[in-house]
């Protein structure tokens, strides 16, 4: 598509957008009565309008049924997670039995590593991306220490080349091959939170398996953002949060994926709890853990009803959209338009004030652009917020902007760039310009 840098063009794209009406399904925060142009779905998605009614339904069940709500009503809590599994499966490319909503992201990461990080005397190392989200770093550090290893020795971080911001796939694959004899686990983010780079997950998985390692992914920034095929890519396990691109509320419930090839493996360790016990026998209260079939067997505590209700409301909006294929097509256009407009801002300023460090290729990114602001970075970010553009700040000088296809418009993208230009002209002095 040939883009144009004017509001009328952006509005014309919105008129042609078959998903534009879904914007009305969400509630936008306001500043002095004026809605924000919300570009922070990579951090916290907007509240679906339906969220309140889904939560109210469960509160009403609690009020009217009390403990009988576990087995009575239209959505008995005992089985409520099953209402979500099919829709979750569509989003990550899996079967319903391979996914389950439960816990929170890092808790699930630890639980899955109990099963899938199985270090041996000569095969104990983990490969991950350098600059992974701190929670992943902490989880892996503590896991290797738990097994008696030194993180400095057991964890291999693959970093970008000098002068580059993102990883080259060939460098990742080379690191896996070079360390294959000692490698127990490959654990990457699907999309790096800071740069917005979408890693080549199928290639990483294939290389990890060729090295005799297990392969897992943290999909916090990928699930609900880019199309995934976890089953077909033969990924061993994955987990994700639901509060970013999946709009399930702050601290929203997490999801897990376990490939069905592992279901019959009784040698896998796991931290067991009552809710992972086989469903039909659960209330016999017998000793000796026997896992429920599928990913549900990794559950520990009982269904988190209210967080699931919020997730349920959001998943229904994905269902209305037709799940990931239509959303991805719109997302590629939205993000490409923002990429183009940032370039137009630089042209108007006469120098590269904004450097995009997210890959240019649509196949290597999702909805997020990470942008280095050369001059007055923090002042510009705060000025954007004051001008009703709500993005995300990362030290020391990166502004993250994420046009989410469920609720952002092409006009949102145009107005964001227009205000970036106006603010830059106001805040960058002639003496700063190159």
Q: Round to whole Å and give the CA distance between 399 and 392.
A: 6
- Same-domain check for residues 369 and 395: yes
User: How do residues 342-384 score in pLDDT, each as one tens digit?
Assistant: 999 999 999 999 999 999 999 999 999 999 999 999 999 999 9
If you average pLDDT over residues 89-96, what whole number do you get? Answer: 98
Whether 45 is covered by a domain: the verdict is: no
- Same-domain check for residues 250 and 398: no
Question: If we measure between CA atoms, which residue out of 164, 121, 113 comes closest to residue 138?
Answer: 113
pLDDT of residue 145: 98
User: How do residues 279-301 score in pLDDT, each as one tens digit?
Assistant: 998 888 899 999 999 999 999 99
Whether 332 is covered by a domain: the verdict is: yes
Whether the bond between 351 and the residue before it is cis, its omega within 30 degrees of 0, is no
- Same-domain check for residues 18 and 71: no
pLDDT of residue 434: 67
Q: Round to whole Å and give the CA distance between 357 and 368.
A: 10
Whether 135 is covered by a domain: the verdict is: yes
* pLDDT band for position 192 (cuts 50, 70, 90): very high
Whether 95 is covered by a domain: the verdict is: yes
pLDDT of residue 430: 63
Helix (H) or strand (E) holding 401: strand 398-401
- Same-domain check for residues 237 and 351: no
- Same-domain check for residues 192 and 277: yes
User: In terms of C-beta density within 10 A (0-12 exposed, 13-18 middle, 19 or more buried), how is residue 182 classed?
Assistant: middle
Contact status, residue 190 vs residue 198, Cβ threshold 8 Å: yes
Residue 101 sits in a domain of what CATH number? Answer: 3.40.640.10
Whether the pLDDT of residue 432 is over 80: the answer is no
What's the mean per-residue pLDDT of the chain?
A: 97
pLDDT of residue 431: 64
**Complete DSSP assignment for 296-348:** GGG--SPP-HHHHHHHHHHHHHHHHHTSHHHHHHHHHHHHHHHHHHHHHHHHH
Contact status, residue 111 vs residue 300, Cβ threshold 8 Å: yes
Question: If we measure between CA atoms, which residue out of 202, 76, 72, 188 comes closest to residue 140?
Answer: 188
pLDDT of residue 126: 98
Whether the pLDDT of residue 1 is over 90: the answer is no
If you average pLDDT over residues 130-137, what whole number do you get? Answer: 96
**Do β-strands 214-218 and 237-240 pair in parallel, antiparallel, or remain unpaired?**
parallel
Question: If we measure between CA atoms, which residue out of 269, 267, 287, 268 comes closest to residue 277?
Answer: 287
Domain count, the chain: 2
245-262: buried (b, 16+ CB within 10 Å) or exposed (e) per residue? bbbbbeebbbbbbbbeee
Q: From 320, 338, 363, give the residue that closes a domain.
A: 320
Q: From 286, 320, 354, give the residue that closes a domain.
A: 320
Q: From 295, 320, 345, give the residue that closes a domain.
A: 320
pLDDT of residue 433: 66
Whether 2 is covered by a domain: the verdict is: no
User: How do residues 297-335 score in pLDDT, each as one tens digit?
Assistant: 999 999 999 999 999 999 999 999 999 999 999 999 999
**Residue 415 structural domain:** 7-35+323-427
Q: Round to whole Å and give the CA distance between 243 and 310.
A: 10
Contact status, residue 35 vs residue 53, Cβ threshold 8 Å: no
Q: Round to whole Å and give the CA distance between 60 and 271.
A: 33
Whether 434 is covered by a domain: the verdict is: no
Whether 22 is covered by a domain: the verdict is: yes
Whether 30 is covered by a domain: the verdict is: yes
Contact status, residue 136 vs residue 128, Cβ threshold 8 Å: yes
- Same-domain check for residues 288 and 344: no
- Same-domain check for residues 377 and 415: yes
Residue 76 region by backbone torsions, left for phi larger than 0, else alpha for psi between -120 and 50, else beta: beta
User: How do residues 53-81 score in pLDDT, each as one tens digit?
Assistant: 999 999 999 999 999 999 999 999 999 99
- Same-domain check for residues 71 and 178: yes
Residue 383 sits in a domain of what CATH number? Answer: 3.90.1150.10
Whether the pLDDT of residue 117 is over 80: the answer is yes
- Same-domain check for residues 307 and 328: no
User: How do residues 213-254 score in pLDDT, each as one tens digit?
Assistant: 999 999 999 999 999 999 999 999 999 999 999 999 999 999
- Same-domain check for residues 162 and 22: no
- Same-domain check for residues 315 and 188: yes
């Amino acid at each position: 598509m040939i883009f144009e840098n004017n509001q009328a063009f952006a509005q014309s794209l919105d008129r042609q957008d078959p998903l534009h009406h879904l914007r009305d399904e969400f509630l936008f925060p306001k500043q002095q009565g004026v809605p924000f142009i919300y570009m922070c779905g990579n951090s916290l998605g907007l509240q679906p309008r339906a969220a309140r009614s889904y939560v109210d339904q469960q509160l009403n069940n609690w009020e009217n049924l009390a403990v009988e709500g576990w087995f009575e009503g239209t959505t008995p809590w005992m089985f409520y997670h099953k209402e979500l599994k099919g829709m979750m499966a569509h989003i990550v490319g899996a079967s319903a039995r391979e996914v389950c909503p439960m816990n929170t992201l890092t808790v699930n990461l630890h639980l899955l590593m109990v099963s899938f990080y199985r270090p041996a005397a000569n095969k104990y190392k983990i490969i991950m991306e350098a600059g992974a989200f701190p929670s992943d770093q902490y989880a892996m550090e503590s896991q290797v220490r738990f097994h008696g290893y030194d993180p400095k020795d057991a964890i291999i971080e693959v970093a970008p080349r000098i002068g580059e911001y993102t990883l080259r796939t060939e460098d990742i694959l080379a690191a896996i091959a070079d360390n294959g004899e000692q490698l127990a686990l490959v654990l990457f983010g699907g999309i790096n939170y800071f740069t917005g780079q979408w890693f080549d997950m199928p290639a990483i998985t294939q290389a990890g398996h060729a090295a005799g390692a297990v392969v897992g992914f943290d999909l916090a920034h990928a699930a609900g953002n880019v199309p995934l095929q976890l089953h077909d890519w033969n990924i061993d396990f994955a987990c994700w949060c639901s509060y970013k691109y999946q709009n399930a509320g702050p601290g929203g419930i997490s999801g897990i994926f376990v490939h069905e090839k592992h279901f019959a493996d009784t040698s896998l360790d796991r931290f067991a709890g009552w809710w992972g016990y086989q469903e039909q026998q659960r209330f016999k209260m017998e000793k000796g853990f026997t896992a429920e079939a599928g990913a549900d067997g990794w559950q520990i505590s009982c269904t988190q009803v209210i967080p699931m209700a919020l997730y349920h409301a959001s998943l229904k909006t994905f269902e209305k959209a037709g799940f990931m294929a239509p959303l991805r097509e719109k997302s590629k256009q939205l993000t490409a338009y923002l990429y183009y407009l940032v370039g137009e801002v630089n042209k108007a300023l006469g120098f590269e004030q904004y450097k995009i460090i997210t890959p240019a290729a649509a196949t290597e990114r999702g909805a997020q652009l990470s942008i280095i602001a050369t001059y007055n970075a923090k002042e510009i970010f705060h000025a954007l917020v004051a001008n009703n553009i709500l993005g995300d700040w990362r030290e020391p000088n990166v502004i993250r902007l994420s046009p989410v296809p469920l609720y952002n418009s092409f006009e949102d993208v145009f107005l964001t760039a227009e205000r970036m230009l106006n603010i830059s002209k106001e805040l960058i002095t002639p003496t700063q310009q190159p």
